[in-house]
Amino acid sequence: MARDYTLHGTPAPHRIDYRAELNEQQFAAVTAPAGQSLVIAGAGSGKTRVLTYRVAYLLDNGIAPENILLVTFTNKASREMLDRVQNLLPIETNRLWGGTFHSIGNRLLRKHGDRLGLRQGFSIMDREDQKDLMETVVTSSGVDTTTYRFPKPEVLGEIFSLADNTSTSIAQVVKGKYPYFERVVEGIEKLRELYTAKKLETNNVDFDDLLTMTLRLFRENEDLLDRYRRTFRFILVDEYQDTNLLQSELIELLAGPEGNLMVVGDDAQSIYSWRGANLKNILEFPQRYPRPGCTRSR
């Protein structure tokens, strides 16, 4: 946990002169002590630079690459940061856990999905595959979709996805976003159950399952949660203002109440509200962690 590590600020043994390469705010964020840190980084403030140098700083202080989890919103961003780290330090970074929420979830489910009923080699459905499977489920469900307006398969997928990503019920999602379907909410709920069962039967997962099933994996398997809390000694998350409730729950579960968690974001913008992004995740971070090191990078 956080108390297991002391990050030294003495530059003598370092291979990078952090003070020379970073401005004052960036240096404070990069060299923050172990624990929880919230870094507010507006446009043009060098957010990517902060994350890149933070990873380098951890490695420079003897933290093993496999003990670092770097979560980004695109694979491109992850590759770019790891390439920059590689250019900064003569350390092989392929052992570092870097990627998007979904790619990290996929990696974990490939290792442990059998605990949730997944079989080796499960497939990840794209939107077209998801629509086809949904149509199959609707056809065989016995749910009356003709006597009153009923959502089409792709809309059902949107409803299920929003419920997953906001950790809310189907009824709440329908009432808030699709009130014209309130009369058929029971049918929608039944179809979700059937769709979930069909995915497991056919050894398929959809994009949202990569997060919901990973969260469930850790909630239902304390031994795995303990194992990965010890593995992910330092967790860094980019664009935290764009995380939804599901993503923040997963990260904060893995970090634990005393873990080393640094989240970076811009509280003035959020571009994924359509996917359930919750700005409260970043705004209320100091309340969830009573003594975070809040650092503003400009």
Q: What average pLDDT does range 125-143 have in this prediction?
A: 95
What ranges do the domains of the chain cover?
Answer: 2-112+211-297, 123-202
261 DSSP β-pair partners = 36, 235
pLDDT score, position 45: 77
Least confident residue range of 2-16, 118-132, 235-249: 2-16
pLDDT confidence bin for 296, thresholds 50/70/90: very low
pLDDT for 269? 67
How many other C-beta atoms lie within 10 A of the C-beta of residue 117?
Answer: 12
Residue 228 has pLDDT above 80, yes or no: yes
Which residues, at least 6 apart from 261, have a Cβ–Cβ distance to it below 8 Å? Answer: 36, 37, 235, 236, 237, 251, 252, 255, 289
Q: Which of 15-24, 52-61, 273-282 has the lowest mean pLDDT?
A: 273-282
Reported confidence tier of residue 286, pLDDT bands at 50, 70, 90: confident
pLDDT greater than 50 at residue 193: yes
pLDDT > 90? residue 281: no
Specify the CATH class of 2-112+211-297 in words. alpha beta
pLDDT at 14 (0 to 100): 66
Mean pLDDT of 231-240: 95
Which of 239, 6, 94 has its CA nearest to residue 251? 239
Residue 153 Cα distances to 14, 129, 192, 209, 245, angstroms? 56, 11, 11, 17, 25
Q: Is the pLDDT of residue 1 over 50?
A: no
Lowest mean pLDDT among 100-114, 181-195, 221-235, 263-277: 263-277
User: Do residues 253 and 218 touch, judged by C-beta distance below 8 A?
Assistant: yes
| Cα four-point dihedral sign 201, 204, 208, 211 | positive
- Dist. CA 102–CA 239, nearest whole Å: 15
In whole angstroms, give the CA distance from residue 61 to residue 99: 22
**34 in Cβ contact with 7 (< 8 Å):** yes
- Whether residue 43 has pLDDT greater than 80: no
Does 26 have pLDDT greater than 90? yes
pLDDT of residue 273: 54
pLDDT tier, 297 (very low <50, low <70, confident <90, very high otherwise): very low
Judged against a pLDDT cut of 90, whether residue 215 lies above it is answered with: yes
Nearest alpha carbon to residue 275 among 251, 237, 239: 239
Of 89-103, 170-184, 190-204, where does mean pLDDT reach its minimum? 89-103
Count of Cβ atoms closer than 10 Å to residue 153 Cβ: 19
Structure tokens, 26: 């960036």
What pLDDT is stored for residue 276 in this prediction? 65
Q: Is the pTM of this model over 0.95?
A: no
- 152-191 pLDDT tens trace: 999 999 999 999 998 899 999 999 999 999 999 999 999 9
pLDDT for 10 beyond 80: no
Residue 135 to residue 201: CA distance in whole angstroms: 16
The mean pLDDT of 78-104, rounded to a whole number, is 90
Would you tell me how many other CB atoms lie within 10 Å of the CB of residue 144?
A: 10
Compute the average pLDDT of residues 37-66.
90
Say what percent of the chain tops pLDDT 90: 69
Percent of the chain predicted with pLDDT > 70: 89
Nearest in space to 170 (alpha carbons), one of 195, 148, 199: 195
Per-residue pLDDT at 272 exceeds 80: no
pLDDT at 12 over 70: no
**Long-range contacts: 161-164, Cβ < 8 Å, 24+?**
161/207, 161/208, 161/275, 162/275, 162/276, 163/192, 164/208, 164/211, 164/212, 164/246
